[in-house]
Structure 1
Amino acid sequence: MAALFLWLLLAAGALLPPAEAQEEYDRLPNEFKKAADLGLAQQNSRGKGKHHFLYFKSLMRSDIQPGSGVLYLYHHFYLKATRCPKGTVDTSNCPFRTNRPEIDCAVCYKAILGTIQAWPEPYVSCTHKPALTEAKKNARVDHCNRMGYSSGAPGGMADPVRNDPPFY
């Protein structure tokens, strides 16, 4: 009987909407929301998969503001599949799937006065968490660092020897 009660509690919890994740998304500064939106757009537009994805949580956020309204931003976060079909517009009642791993995303971009620039092209890298390798993590950092250096941003966005995250 106790096992049945526990199972019912777990099942009910799995059906709740992802309110906490939405609250965390709502608390993000606008620049970091834009980065999360780029990751969501990429993941939700992929051909394979039937489920809609939502923002789940931030792992790291950093930025450099060298002046004149210029911003170099890096956002590392998770997306998670929901039980709603791909293309769902009203996601307020889309519970997260508990049987799928998170999608690990890293996004970096340059913005001027709040507008994401086309050059250098924003970088969006989203990978199923179990498939994310150290080599892929390093490639993300390297790409974001090159983006800043090629744009004339101040140096030292990441220490390649220590593999620090970008923009530190």
Structure 2
Amino acid sequence: MAGGLLLLLCAGAALLSVKAQDVYEELPENFKIGVDLALEQLNSHAWVHHHFRFLRSVGKSEIESGFGVKYIYHHFYLKPTRCSKRTTESSAERCPFRNDRPVMDCGVCYKTAADQIESPPKPYVHCIQKPRLTEEMKTTRLEHCKKMSYNSGAPTLLAVSTG
């Protein structure tokens, strides 16, 4: 009986892991590139030892400004896994989530043209462990993203929420 319960628990954990990866795969390309940018920046830090995976979107918006140019804002969570940060992308989907570490709360905003990040303005990435995120940080994050779209004459990036 205990063996059957353990098997069921393991199967459930594997299913949740696959579902989380499916959530990333369901994101539109314009939003995936922002998640990838945040993961790249996070993995560049020496203090990060584990691989992170996309958990879920909290909010997102996309403003079309004409000529294929879009302004993207994406607020999402990344969750640490039990794998090393050196894990290759092909094996990353098999990395089980850690439940003993907090999620990373990330906000990114950037300009795209033809589904590629454009600069200027420079893409903005802000990720911090969720328990350490303050209201002031949230405000600063949102204000930075609003300025990005205002400077280009686009409607406010945070006026439209699609998520």
Work out whether 1:94 is the aligned partner of 2:95. Answer: yes
Find the counterpart in structure 2 of residue 114 from structure 1: 115
Cα drift, residue 12 of structure 1: 2.9
Aligned residue for 1:16?
14
1:163 is aligned to: none
CA contact (8 A) 1:14 1:96 kept: no
Could you say which structure has the greater relative contact order, defined with CA pairs below 8 angstroms and 6 or more residues apart? 2
TM-score, reference length from structure 2: 0.87
Contact 1:63 1:167 in 2 (8 A): no
Change (3 A) 1:132 1:9: farther
Aligned length: 157
The structural deviation recorded for 1:133 is 0.5
Task: Quote the Cα distance in structure 2 between the aligned partners of 1:47 and 1:10.
Answer: 37
Check conservation: 2:42, 2:48, Cα contact below 8 A: no
Q: Deviations over 1:85-125 (max 9, x none)?
A: 11100213200001111000001001122221121000000
Aligned partners of 1:141 and 1:130: how far apart in 2? 18
Are residues 1:77 and 2:76 paired?
yes
* Aligned residue in 1 for 2:145: 144
Q: What's the offset of the Cα at 1:139?
A: 0.4
Give 5+ residue unaligned stretches, structure 2: none
Distance 2:18 2:139 in 1: 32
Note the aligned Cα RMSD (angstroms).
2.2
Q: 2:27: which partner in 1?
A: 28
